[in-house]
Structure formats: C-alpha cells, structure tokens
Copies of this chain bind each other. A is one copy, B any other.
C-alpha cells in the first residue's frame, strides 16, 4: 500500500514538471503576427479534428460500454470493468490532447526561438515535447492512484479482514481492463491521425509540388495547413495515447504478477517505485539536453541522447537500491537484472534504430546511393533495409525476455519468471518521460520549419529548423521502437494473463497450448496474417483519403481566383475538414478488425485458438512494425540526405527517385507501422475481456 504513495507522488511530480514546462513554453514570444496566425490555424485545425474524432470514438466507447455492462450483468465481468474501460480511454485521449495542444502552441515559438540560436530552438521544442512526455507519465500514474485508492477502499469495506494479497489481486484484476479502453483510444488516435497526416501530406505534395510546381509548405497550397495539423494529430496525439497505455499496463500487470509469484506486497512495490523514480530520473535527464550554435546533426543527436542516457544510468542505479530495499536478498539481484535487461533492450533498440535510419550511418547512405539506378532500386533497397533491421531487435528482445525470466526464478516457478519479464518492461518504460519528450519534439520542429517557410523567415532560420527536424525522423523511429519493443516484451505476460483469466473463469479447463496442437497452430497462422491485413487496410485508407485531398486542392486552384498570384487566400479549413472526415470513415474497418477477429476466433476455435492468435499477431506484428518504421524512416532521411547535396541534390533524378521512396514510406512509418503494436495489445485486451463469453460458448 505504501508504494502507492510513491506512485501518487510521482504523478504529482510529473504533472507539476509538465505544467512548469508548459508555462515556460507559453512565455516564449510567438514571433510575428503572421506566424501567430498560422500557428493558430494549425491549432484550430488540430482541435477541430480531435473534437470530431472524440465524437466518433465516443459512439464506439458507448457501444462497447453497453456491451460490457450487459456482460457484467450476465456475470462474465466485474461491474468496475465497464467504468475502468471508460477512464482508460478518457485519460489516454486526454494525454494525446494535452500533448497536441502544447505542440501546436510551441511551433511558432520554436521557429521564433530558432531565429535567435539553434540551442534556443532546441530548448523550446524539447520543452514542449517534455510537456507531452510528462503528461503521459503523470496522467498514467494519476489514473492508477485514483483507481487504486478507490478500489482499496471498496474492497476493504466489503471484506475488512481480507489479506493484503487478496486485496491487491482484486484490485489489479479490475485495473487490467482499463488497458482495453486506453488501447481502443490509442488505436483510433494512431490510425485516424495516421490517415489524416499522410493523406494531407501526400495530397499537398502531389498537387502542390508536382502539378502546380510550388515549393513545399507554400502558403498558397490549400492542403499545407492540413499537412501541419496532421503532424500534430498523428505523431503527437496518437503516440501519446499509445504509450500511455503501454506504460500503465506494464505497471499494473507486473503488480498483478507479484502476488502470483509469491513476492507479496513488496513485489507489488517494485514496479510502482521504479515508475515513480523513473519520473525523477527523467526530469534530471531533461536538463542535459542542450547544444551549441553550429552543431552538426550528430551533435544534436548526441544532445538528445545524452539526456536519455543519463536518465537510464540514474534509474539503473536507483533500481539497484529500490530492489534490494524491497525484496529479499536471494531474489533482489535477479529482479535487478530483469530491470536492467529491459532498460538496456530499450536503449540498444533505440541505438539500432538510429543506425538503420539516420543518414550518419551506412545503411541510409547506401539507400540514397541506390537512387542512382532509379526509384525501383530505392524501393527494393529500402524494403530490404527494413527487413534486415528486424534481426537485431528480435534477438535483443529474445535475450531480454530469457534473461529476465530465468534470472528472477522462472525455472522454478513460471509466475516468478513472468514477474521478471513484467519488471523488465517496466524498466524499459521507466524513463518514458524523457523518451517521449525526444519523440514528440520531432513534429514540433517539423511544424516550426513549415512556419518559417510560410512566413519567409531568413534562410538561416529554416536551416536551423531543418537541422532540428531531420533528427525528428530518427527520434520518431526510436519512439516507435520503444512502443513495439515493449509490446513484444510483454507478449508473454499478455498471453499468460489471458490464460490466467480463463482459469479464473473455469478452473477445471484443460488447455493444450502446444504448437503441435492443430487448433493453436491455426490460431498462430491467423494471428500471423492479422498484421498484414491490418497494414493493407490502413495503407489503402491513406491512398483513398489522399485521393479526396487531391481533388479538393485541384478544385481550389481552379476556382479561387488570384490564389496562385498570392492575392487570395486558399480555403485551408475545407482541406482539414476533408481529411478529418476521410480519416474518421476509413479508420473504422482496421479498428473493428482488432476487436472482432479475436472474438470470432474465440467463438470458433476456442481458447487454444485465441492463445495461438495472440502469439502469432505479436510475432508477425513485431517484425512487420519494426520493418515498416525503419524502412519509412530510412527513406525519409535518404531523401533529406540527397536534399542536403548528395547524389545531385534537390531536383536531380536521384532526388526524384528518393521522393518515391519517401512517399511509400509515409504510410509505412506514420500510419500502418506504429499502429501495429496497438493492434497487438488491443487483440489481447479484447481476448481477456471476452474470455468469459468464449469459455461459456465452448462449454455449451
């Protein structure tokens, strides 16, 4: 119980820090009135989008809420479940919303600060990113604390003499389900935002750059505001909602495992204390993110990395004391190794992502060189780069899972091993505050560059924002690596909690989850196919949505007189509106798949098939997501590398070939790829929530 006070303190600390950062960013001058105007347009567009999205999502939540209520009445679920579902969705959405509001406020301020110096620009953009990072962490811990205290009060009132262990079991089994709400919200935010951003991007480029021959981010392009809005709704709000879920779920599920593993209340304290300490270490790390004028891209990356690495080292040290304080000596070192293995896996996957996607290293340089023989070779090389980049993360996650499982006693007791794996995921995500800050900083810098371009600021300013922005691709890829890495790391725990839930419902059920059981194997096949289906639908959605923007931009160029001469203003809002509507319509099919497939497979193949489905989705999903994120990031940076002067520079044939790669990479890295980890987690959550139904049907 006392560990919960740490969590509450962590929540307050994180939210206070986020508020401070927010105030600091807000204090910065907005720049010229024109800059403020554009920033306001982006902000309004983003808010309009999110309002619409939340409205659409509200219907979904209402429907699922009613279904869950009915299932609670039928005795399949506890009555807290439907409400936990709602709050999970609410806080996840709120995290994204606050991050997005900050980002749209910070864009003009970053551009303005960059006109002072590179370091000032970096500080503003990074501070704004920190707001997002610490809001996610803070709200997550807050949500956790509120529910915890409420449920503790409730269950103590019902049964005052229950042991702490029983109490914590009751509490965590309820808490687990709010992951489903958070996942659903995250999926809509990621997929919807991803469709929005890429439809606007592709639409703006195809008609503006290619057909009309005006530069990127030109204010005459009607889709240019939508493009900037997209960065915020997809990469900021979507990412925030996503990692909110990962973060909270990893803490809750590890707490639940502590009891089963026999570590008792002390074991429950470990993930909570780690999370709280992580907030502190992340805050310390943020102070080390600074650079000097004339810094190269590599220096800038080092600046961001320094912050993350310092936080990681600090939390590693803290973890040693925390674990040894809470756990008996014979387990402490093992659990500590688990923490470190997760933390290290996150850092190494991040570094590898950087290696594969940054143009400072040979893979992306070689990819740029492949543009010499045309766009086809750019595509082939990019796909193969992405595929190759999956090897190391798989091996690293594998080592990390096995280390944390066996070091924390998995050989003797399955649940002890599982607890270790859970702790390693908490370790990986403990520095989320700063990791997410470096991630969210990317789209802010991108927006700042757009504003600098649109308001015709001096070339030097644009150069600085470009330097900040091109890092964004790499840090974004790193963030995606964290998101998918933590999903892979917790795969075992997710499947185990499903099986656990089934055993809770029917203790006598005999399950054969062996891969030689044909039912499990077929589940595995269907699960393995699911991410491909999901990626196909989301990529198609981007194509369709972009098509509607193309038509609208063409219409405006034709019908609005004086637009090309700069005498009339384009109708930015209609493009934003159109993107919004397309995204809302087209995100439904992929989202429903994540919800319906596990239920249908459960009803037909039963529990064994669902377990196979979950394993298959995780395995293929992990590999496909890493590939898509890294191919996409590398294509984008290969193009930027050419734009910086290599292989003939901007406008050359090589550049044109690289642009094709970049366009293919857009839905890869910003729509399909990063949604896959949510697909993985949502299918697990849905399986757990509907386990009662599946078991009941198969007992008939």
- A interface with B by C-beta (< 8 Å): 206, 210, 370, 373-377, 379-381, 383-388, 390-391, 394-395, 397-398, 401-402, 405, 410, 414, 417, 421, 488, 491-492, 495-496, 499, 512-516, 518-522, 524-529, 532-533, 535-537, 539-540, 542-543, 547, 550, 611-612, 615-616, 619-620, 622-623, 627, 659-660, 663-664, 667
Contacts and interface: CB of A to CB of B under 8 A. Distances in A.
A391 B397 CA distance: 28
Contacts of A660: 374-376, 379, 660
A667 B387 CA distance: 14
A39 to B, nearest CB: 30
A115 to B, nearest CB: 34
Contacts of A619: 524-525, 527-528, 616, 619-620
Contact of A373 (B206, B383, B611): B206
A516 B495 contact: yes
A391 B531 CA distance: 10
Contacts of A397: 525
Contacts of A385: 536
Contacts of A611: 515-516
Contacts of A616: 619
Count copies of this chain in the complex.
Answer: 2
Contacts of A417: 518
Among the interface residues A376, A381, A388, A496, which one has the most CB atoms of the partner chain B within 10 A?
A376
24 contacts: A210-B374, A374-B663, A375-B375, A380-B542, A380-B663, A384-B536, A384-B539, A384-B543, A387-B535, A390-B532, A394-B525, A394-B526, A394-B529, A395-B526, A398-B522, A402-B518, A402-B519, A495-B516, A495-B521, A513-B514, A514-B515, A525-B622, A528-B619, A619-B619
Given A380-B543, A387-B533, A532-B623, 10 more contacts: A373-B550, A374-B660, A377-B663, A388-B536, A388-B537, A401-B521, A513-B514, A521-B615, A524-B615, A528-B528
List 10 tightest A-B contacts by C-beta distance, closest first: A376-B663, A387-B536, A528-B619, A513-B514, A398-B522, A388-B536, A394-B529, A384-B536, A387-B532, A384-B539
B380 A539 contact: yes
Contacts of A547: 373
A495 B515 contact: yes
Given A374-B660, A528-B622, A619-B525, A533 B667 contact: no
Nearest to A512: B514
A376 B615 CA distance: 33
Contact of A612 (B515, B612, B664, B667): B515
A381 B663 CA distance: 12
Contacts of A386: 536
Nearest to A399: B522
Nearest to A394: B529
Among the interface residues A377, A518, A526, which one has the most CB atoms of the partner chain B within 10 A?
A518
Nearest to A667: B380
A188 B120 CA distance: 58
A377 to B, nearest CB: 6
Contacts of A210: 374
A401 B522 contact: yes
A492 B516 contact: yes
Contacts of A405: 518
